[in-house]
Every structure is written in structure tokens, then in C-alpha cells.
Amino acid sequence: MLSKKRIGFIGGGNMAEAIVKGLVASKSVASKNILIADVSSERLNFLRKEYKVETASNNKDVTEKSDIVILAVKPQIMDKVLEEMRDIDLGKKLLISVAAGYPILAIESILKSDQEKKKVRVIRTMPNTPALVLEGATAITPGTDADKNDLKMAHFLFSSVGKTVDVTEKQIDAVTGLSGSGPAYIFMIIEALADGGVKMGLSRDVANTLSIQTVLGAAKLAQQSGLHPGELKDRVASPGGTTIAGIHALESGALRATLMDAVEAAAIRSEELGQ
């Protein structure tokens, strides 16, 4: 589906790189069919050498030469980027935004400001950085002019770097707080588990290896077993054993409430960015 499509990225930051690496690694898109523009020439040089992609000096070139344009810039500069695209014929192009907190209506309003009946096919997404290792989680929601084929194309693109789900746009901020920011929470948990191992006498290398593999294994078990996480937890925690003692310490430290608060805080910040 993507083999004959030229995919352009406006912005070459971490999220763009994650998607590019995933697409190239999964062989969904040939490197020569990926075009990237970024304000940093140093960044473009890195991406070109690392992934053998094409680069451009400006956003207009990327937009005009691409079938699918991925808007991978920070929400604070989206207005400026969209203004540059307004005079380009976008009728046959699919625009996919990965900008946190930037609503579809804002994209459509700027691009249609000179002609209300102008068709602008927009898909809004919220991916995450594990796309780098083909384990991303991406939520997808279509704009007014996007059709079923556009939505199918977006799912195909992001499913090549992980799993995808359909959500309403109202749910995107919650997605941002959970899976968009979630990898950072998990990295902190991995680090903290390893620190605990070091505190109890393990070497740093051994503690890191055990911590990472434990989180990876637990995630795979939750995914493949189909059981509720609470049930899986109970299966590990035997009466009067070591695990329930550790769980008690986590409950005393309000781990679950703290993680819920983190999701809420990130979701609220995403909403603020869209205002």
C-alpha cells in the first residue's frame, strides 16, 4: 500500500526519526521514497546518513513532492508551518499530524482560510517513540475531509511500526497522557527497579538487565495471556510471600495513584497546548 507512495516529513525530531526508522526497518517504504525537512542542517545530515533518506531545505519542497505529508513539528510552530502550505494544491495529498495538542479544526481552518470549499484531507495521530523498535502505539482520528481509504492508509503506515487504535479527537489528549508520554514513565520504573537491585547488592549491569527483561516479559505476558493485569499480579503474589510484601510497599507509596496523576497531568498539558 505504501510501496509506491512518497512520504514527506516536516520536522526531523525524535518522533519523526522513530517513524522513519520503523518504516525503513519494516521495509514498508524504501528510504529513497522518504523526504525530510528540518530547520537543523546537522539533523538532516544525520538522518540522511543514518537512514539513507532524502532531505530538503524547506517545507514547501517536501509538501509538493510527497503523497503523504507527516507534520512532525512542535505544536507551538504549527501555525507557521501550515501558513507556508496554504498556497500549495493539497487536494491529492494526505496530511498526517503527530503534533500533541494541536486540533484538526486548527489545521483545516488555516489551510482552508482562502477557500472554504477547499478539500484538505487530515488525519490526527498520537504515536510514541517505541516505534523505533516496531513496538509503537498510535491512536488515529480522521478529519472532516478524510475518507475511509485515508484512514486505512494511516493505519497501514503506523501498523508497520506497532499497534494502532481508533479514537475520537476528544480522546486524543487522554491518549497523549497515557501512551504518548507513557514510555517515559516506564523508563523511570525500569531505572527505579534497577536502582533497587543495586541498593540490595547487585551490580549495575545485572540490575539493568534484570529490570529491563522483567518489564518486557511482564508486558508480553499481559499481552499474550489475555488476562486482567490484576489477575496476573495475584498469580505472582503468594500468601505471606515476598511479592505481596513488595506490593504493600508500592501501595504505601501510592504508585498506582501517582501513575494515574501522571497520565492526567500530561493529558491536561496536551489540552492546554491545543488552546
Q: Where exactly are the structural domains of the chain?
A: 7-172, 182-273
Of 94, 15, 10, 24, the closest CA to residue 53 belongs to 24
pLDDT for position 219: 97
Which residues have a Cβ under 8 Å from the Cβ of 220 and sit 6 or more positions away? none
Q: Residue written as cell 514513565?
A: 185
pLDDT for position 116: 63
Q: Residue written as cell 492526567?
A: 264
Query: With contact defined as beta carbons under 8 Å apart, do 20 and 47 qualify?
Result: yes
Dihedral angle sign, alpha carbons of residues 42, 45, 50, 53? positive
Least confident of 55-64, 219-228, 243-252: 55-64
Strand partners, 71: 10, 97
pLDDT grade for 132, boundaries at 50, 70 and 90: confident
Pairing between β-strand 121-126 and β-strand 94-97 as defined by DSSP bridges: parallel
In whole angstroms, what is the distance from residue 95 CA to residue 37 CA?
Answer: 15
Query: With contact defined as beta carbons under 8 Å apart, do 265 and 177 qualify?
Result: yes
What is the fold of 182-273? ProC C-terminal domain-like fold (1.10.3730)
Tell me the pLDDT tens digit for each residue of 15-51. Answer: 899 889 988 988 889 999 999 999 999 999 999 999 9
CATH number of 7-172: 3.40.50.720
Amino acid (1-letter code) at residue 31: S
Provide, rounded to the nearest whole percent, the portion of the chain with pLDDT above 90: 78
* DSSP symbol at 137: E
Tell me the pLDDT tens digit for each residue of 255-269. Answer: 999 999 999 999 999
pLDDT grade for 115, boundaries at 50, 70 and 90: low
Encode burial over 123-153: b for 16+ CB neighbours within 10 A, e otherwise.
bbbbbbbbbbebbbbbbbbbbebbeeebbeb
Angle 99-24-67 from CA coordinates, rounded to 5°:
60
Tell me the pLDDT tens digit for each residue of 68-105. Answer: 999 999 988 999 999 999 888 888 999 999 988 899 99
Which residues have a Cβ under 8 Å from the Cβ of 204 and sit 6 or more positions away? 194, 198
pLDDT grade for 4, boundaries at 50, 70 and 90: confident
Query: With contact defined as beta carbons under 8 Å apart, do 9 and 34 qualify?
Result: yes
In whole angstroms, what is the distance from residue 87 CA to residue 273 CA?
Answer: 26
pLDDT grade for 122, boundaries at 50, 70 and 90: very high
